[in-house]
Amino acid sequence: MALNQALSGINAAESQLNVISNNIANAGTVGFKGSTAQFAEVYAVTGLNLSSSAVGSGAELTNVEQQFSQGDLETTNGSLDMAISGNGFFVVNNGSGNQYTRDGAFTENSNGYVVSQSGQFLQVYPPNAAGGFNTSTLTDLQLNTAQSAATPTSQITVTANLPAGASLPTDTPFSPTDSNSYNNASTFEVYDSQGGAHSATVYYVKTGNNTWNANLYIDGQSAGSQALAFNSAGALVTPANGNLDFTPAALTNGATFPSPIVANFTNTTQFGTAYAPGTTNQNGYQAGVLQNIEIGTDGTVTAIYSNNQTTTLGQIAVANFPNLQGLQQVGNNSWVATQSSGTAVLGNAGAGQFGDIEQGQLETSNTSDTTAQLVDMIQAQQDYEANSQMLGTVSSLDQSLFSAVDRS
């Protein structure tokens, strides 16, 4: 019996060493969660009331328990590196079902999808038309690497001050090539339907007391001339709503401009100070290429383009479980739900029981500090040696017994 007890102790110590060895081997694995070996006494009693005098039959491994404590967060500055600071798991899909991981070292595959190191697709809530997210379904996150579509200029907002004391131009009629035929000018860019940039200039011609003409030219071609009028205090009174309509000339490159282009002069004044061009804003922009991905602490994924436009691609889903110890580990730093773990509770980061998502950081293994593992290893090694010594002692006693029997 003692031989079996010692052997069970050796097996238990070996199991513990295997668990510790795996913990140390994964000290550098992103999102890894270490384990501890759980043991129980083997106790066999066959007769009534023999437990008071019976001796246990050794030890056995009953469970390898996962330790889901938070690992340290390490800054990487990678745009697709993520860590969950607090509770929750990333949801990934391998094509046959969802799995759950704390490993946020994601990359972009050749088709633009965001995947884990083992090729599993990161799951997000897709955006909806109302500006939020459809939390009733999950989809693979795909980066919109195509160009952001161009938008033609349809509105211009002009803020300027025209000098009340200006004289009438000496030359008539107005010509953009004759600087003596206009008082002031302001140049800016506008964009056609294909995102092509064009030079636009507003030429201001004083026509009388408190009255001016605004002449818009695009690439040297006239888009029309409209009247401006101010009251005695220098405020714009004509047009009443501040809007002037201009009609650009047809383009020869296959692109078009909206017709009309509306220019708003509401904030333009006529004071007794010098001409001030102020600011000219317009709503068109060129096509843009993807420059960066921004991920908020709530998991919102936003594509940022070179034309300063943004697109919301989705919101990263996170999951938690009623019983973490019931999760089944399937490798690649991933787990799957079981009946024991309960059904995954899905939500978004930073809300309720879920932690924040930190972009540009990775969660290190919670066994990265190997000091505790080495201490456990020494203890397991001593247990192994003690049981080995017990095995040798019992073997020696048996040999002595057998020798004594032979001599008799």
pLDDT digits (tens, 9 = 90+) for 291-305: 899 999 999 999 999
Q: Quick check: 279 pLDDT over 60?
A: yes
Residue 387 confidence (pLDDT): 65
Provide the token pair at 363: 């969660």
**Which long-range contacts link 225-232 to residues 24+ away (Cβ below 8 Å)?**
225/174, 226/263, 228/162, 228/265, 228/268, 230/162, 230/164, 230/269, 230/270
**Does the pLDDT of residue 61 top 70, yes or no?**
yes
User: Residue 149: which pLDDT band, with cuts at 50, 70 and 90?
Assistant: confident
In this model, does residue 5 exceed pLDDT 80?
no
Over residues 58-87, mean pLDDT: 88
- 115: confidence class by pLDDT, cuts 50, 70, 90: very high
Confidence of residue 381 (pLDDT cuts 50, 70, 90): confident
140-154, 218-232, 269-283, 297-311: least confidently modelled range: 140-154
- Which of the pair, 3 or 123, is modelled with greater confidence? 123
Q: What is the pLDDT of residue 368?
A: 82
Does residue 2 surpass a pLDDT of 70?
no
Alpha-carbon distance of 33 to 322, in angstroms, equals 18
Question: Residue 298: exposed, middle, or buried by beta-carbon count in 10 A (0-12, 13-18, 19+)?
Answer: middle
pLDDT of residue 31: 84
Mean pLDDT check: name the lowest of 44-48, 91-95, 244-248, 331-335: 44-48
pTM of the model: 0.73
Rounded Cα gap, residues 144 and 138, in angstroms: 17
Task: Please compute the mean of the pLDDT values over residues 389-401 and round it to a whole number.
Answer: 64
Could you identify the residue written with the tokens 């397991």? 380
Return d(Cα 326, Cα 267) in angstroms, integer: 66
Categorize the per-residue pLDDT at 152 as very low, low, confident or very high, splitting at 50, 70 and 90.
Answer: very high
Residue 73, pLDDT > 80, answer yes
Q: How far apart are CA 269 and CA 101, in angstroms?
A: 61
pLDDT value for 378:
80
Summarize pLDDT for 318-352 with one digit per residue, the tens. Answer: 999 999 999 998 987 899 999 999 999 999 999 99
Does domain 155-282 match CATH 3.40.50.2300?
no
Q: In the structure, what pLDDT confidence band is assigned to residue 8 with cuts at 50, 70 and 90?
A: low
Residue 408 predicted with pLDDT over 60: no
CB 264 within 8 A of CB 278: no
List 334's β-bridge partners, or say none. 101, 331
What's the pLDDT at 111?
A: 92
Q: What is the pLDDT of residues 193-245, one digit of tens each?
A: 999 999 999 999 999 999 999 999 999 999 999 999 999 999 999 999 999 99
pLDDT of residue 266: 97
CA distance 57 to 103: 42
Ranges of CATH 2.60.98.20 domains, the chain: 155-282
Whether residue 66 has pLDDT greater than 90: no
pLDDT of residue 160 exceeding 60, the answer is yes
Helix count and strand count (H, E) for the chain:
2, 28
Least confident of 4-8, 27-31, 240-244: 4-8
pLDDT at site 15? 77
